[in-house]
Amino acid sequence: MSTFRVLQFNMQFGQIWDDTYPDRAPIRLDATLDEIRAHNADIILLQEVEKALPGGVQLKPPPNYMRLHAELPGYDSWFSYPRADPRELPFGLGLAIFSRGTLHGHLRMDLPSPPIEFEFFGKKTTPTDRLLIGAYTTMLGREVKILNTHLLAFFMLNSSSTANPFQRNLVAEQLADSHGPTLLAGDFNVSKHQTLVAQFAETGYMTVQQTEITWRRRPFVLDHIFHNSQLRCVQHRVVPTPASDHHCLVADFEFTK
């Protein structure tokens, strides 16, 4: 075998999709696991692993991650919450990396959010920080650096990450500092994704696709798998799934040299 497979999936803490009442749909982690297993990926990058709790409480150990870890044998993995914050809204949070190769050289970086004031159910607040995690693994006898992130959705705040590029810039710095085969995946929450693709191209990274919508709630391409020139994407698919409000993005890679 000369390729390895990567799965990018914002799992929305296991909440399935319901066309009529999406915000009231049940949490079914079995559906999440079935979707993950269906792709037989060598590297799995997940966002929104856990559901945020009132007051910024973070359960330890994280329950969804622990179940995924237990029911996905054959993978090494690790998980991180973002910085705990009592302003956290009741959505998804937490990043996880699963790899069939052993993970080492773990990286964790907080991505500060700007103090943009907005209203949520009649209460004024400001956004919490986001997160970037990473690690090295071995695929086909070669070391690969893996990065996973979930950026702030500025379009929900009547702004944009182009006007507030700090989080994107921090991620771009990590890309520029990586010189071996490197993958970056995640939910970038950029509604006009062309600006993101162009920015990361300046550091030598390309996305596997930027034409198919990856989010059910709005026609945006939010999810990406970026890679540098030492990796070639030989095929990719955007796979709609009822297991989340995001589609899966699957890509097979080979080494170029």
Report the SS3 class of residue 237: strand
In the three-class reduction of DSSP (H, G, I as helix; E, B as strand; rest coil), residue 134 is classed as strand
pTM for this prediction? 0.98
Q: Do residues 66 and 29 touch, judged by C-beta distance below 8 A?
A: no
pLDDT (0 to 100) of residue 177: 96
Average pLDDT, the chain: 97
pLDDT digits (tens, 9 = 90+) for 73-97: 999 999 999 999 999 999 999 999 9
pLDDT tens figures, 211-250:
999 999 999 999 999 999 999 999 999 999 999 999 999 9
Sequence-ordered list of residues with C-beta below 8 angstroms from that of 188, at least 6 positions apart, any chain: 149, 151, 168, 196, 222, 223, 224
Indicate if the pLDDT at residue 255 is higher than 90. yes
Q: Evaluate if residue 1 carries a pLDDT over 80.
A: no
| pLDDT at 154 > cutoff 80 | yes
- Domains of the chain from N-terminus onward: 4-255 (3.60.10.10)
User: H helices of 88-228, where?
Assistant: 166-176, 193-201
Share of the chain above pLDDT 90, in %: 99
pLDDT number for residue 183: 98
pLDDT in tens, 50-78: 999 999 999 999 999 999 999 999 999 99
Reported as a single tens digit per residue, the pLDDT across 168-202 is 999 999 999 999 999 999 999 999 999 999 999 99
For residue range 93-151, list pLDDT tens digits in order: 999 999 999 999 999 999 999 999 999 989 999 999 999 999 999 999 999 999 999 99
- At 56 the pLDDT is 96
CB of 15 closer than 8 Å to CB of 26: yes
Give the position of tokens 């330890």.
60
How much is the pLDDT for 257?
Answer: 79
The DSSP H or E segment spanning 68 is helix 63-71
Q: Give the CA radius of gyration of the chain.
A: 17
